[in-house]
């Protein structure tokens, strides 16, 4: 019979590698139509007449074939899934029995896998913090940029994030109104005396624009002002993290206005940052002081000295402006 099919007869030998639902449906339909044609021819009909009658009795072959193909595909998927699960269970049982015969080897394999998973998890956690996850508490972090300087040596290109204040000032002036800029020092541990007792805290100096550039506002109190951060005349004020407030100051509700001593200087607490904000470095900052207090007054006009460096720069382009490289 001239029943349409795009599948060759030898396709049945390929079932060892993959199912051919469409070919199976075509063969089954062909078989039933041929059987009916043979019956009609046995009753005296010619072949062409028998084929015509068989097709008329069968109905729309294309529609039936599509329905059977859809049904066959669903069944094949269920069968393949069941076979896969049986194979997986069999492999698991075999593996358990094999490891049970050699407990020392089994212990070594389990330990190796555990170490491998642990190391990979630890590395991913570190990379997640360093490169993927933005600092918590920063508003629209995709708009904040850290400034790096590119230097070329015989060994190749190197990038350095540390600047002196004159360079920061030059970058800030070059950007002008196109971007907001801030400067801060890397967090470092310093001895601190608070009403709850003496301890050690992670301290960073930040310019008056620091929190505004990051889009972070104190949950209590206020941020630094330009007056607080006046070079040569820094105000003795401090902003603390929520974690430090709870850890060292027992979350006292009247902590604003109280004093803490860092080194030989006393600072008045004027703000508490939100719970999720700890700065932009891996080391969580406990206390922020004005940037103008980065060095003591005995250092003189350190902000004009290029030997006082290592300051970190942040920028946030203002709306309508794009970032660009600057030759500082």
Tens of pLDDT, residues 81-122: 877 788 878 877 877 777 677 777 777 777 888 888 888 877
pLDDT reported for residue 5: 46
Residues 83 and 108 in one domain: no
Domain assignment of residue 324, yes or no: no
Residue 230, classed as helix, strand or coil, is: coil
Residues 49 and 125 in one domain: no
Other beta carbons less than 10 A from residue 276's beta carbon:
14
Residues 253-288: pLDDT tens digits? 999 999 999 988 999 999 999 999 999 998 899 999
202: phi then psi, degrees, rounded to nearest 5: -90, 120
pLDDT interval class at 186 (50, 70, 90): very high
For 171, half-sphere exposure in the C-beta direction (CA atoms, 13 angstrom radius) is 28
Residue 313 · residue 171 · CB < 8 Å = yes
Domain assignment of residue 138, yes or no: no
pLDDT interval class at 53 (50, 70, 90): confident
Residues 184 and 275 in one domain: yes
Residue 262, classed as helix, strand or coil, is: strand
Higher model confidence: residue 197 or residue 224? 224
Residues 275 and 298 in one domain: yes
Please count the structural domains in the chain.
3
Residues 91 and 109 in one domain: no
Residues 301 and 182 in one domain: yes
CA 77 to chain centre: 35
Q: Using a pLDDT cut of 90, give the percent of the chain over it.
A: 39
pLDDT interval class at 7 (50, 70, 90): very low
Domain membership of residue 82 as a residue range: 9-97
Rounded to whole angstroms, the Cα distance separating 310 from 66 reads 72
pTM (2 decimals)? 0.61
């Amino acid at each position: 019979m001239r029943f349409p099919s795009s599948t060759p007869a030898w396709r049945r030998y390929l079932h060892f590698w993959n199912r051919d639902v469409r070919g199976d449906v075509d063969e089954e339909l062909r078989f039933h139509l041929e059987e009916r044609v043979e019956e009609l021819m046995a009753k005296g009909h010619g072949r062409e007449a028998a084929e015509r009658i068989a097709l008329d009795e069968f109905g729309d072959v294309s529609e039936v074939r599509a329905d059977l193909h859809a049904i066959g595909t669903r069944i094949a998927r269920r069968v393949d899934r069941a076979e896969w699960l049986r194979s997986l269970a069999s492999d698991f049982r075999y593996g358990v029995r094999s490891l049970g015969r050699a407990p020392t080897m089994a212990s070594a394999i389990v330990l190796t896998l555990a170490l491998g998973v642990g190391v990979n998890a630890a590395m991913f956690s570190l990379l997640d913090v360093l490169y993927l996850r933005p600092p918590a508490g920063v508003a629209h972090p995709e708009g904040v940029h850290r400034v790096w300087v590119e230097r070329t040596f015989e060994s190749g290109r190197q990038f350095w994030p540390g600047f002196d204040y004159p360079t920061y000032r030059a970058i800030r002036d070059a950007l002008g109104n196109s971007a907001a800029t801030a400067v801060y020092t890397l967090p470092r541990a310093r001895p601190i005396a608070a009403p709850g007792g003496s301890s050690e805290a992670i301290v960073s100096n930040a310019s008056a624009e620091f929190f505004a550039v990051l889009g972070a506002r104190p949950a209590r109190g206020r941020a630094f002002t330009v007056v607080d951060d006046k070079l040569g005349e820094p105000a003795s004020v401090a902003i603390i993290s929520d974690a430090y407030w709870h850890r060292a100051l027992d979350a006292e509700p009247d902590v604003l206005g109280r004093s803490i001593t860092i080194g030989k200087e006393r600072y008045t607490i004027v703000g508490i940052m939100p719970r999720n904000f700890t700065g932009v470095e891996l080391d969580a900052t406990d206390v922020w002081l004005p940037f103008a207090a980065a060095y003591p007054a005995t250092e003189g006009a350190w902000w004009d000295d290029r030997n006082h460096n290592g300051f970190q720069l942040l920028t946030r382009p203002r709306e309508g402006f794009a970032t660009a490289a600057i030759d500082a």
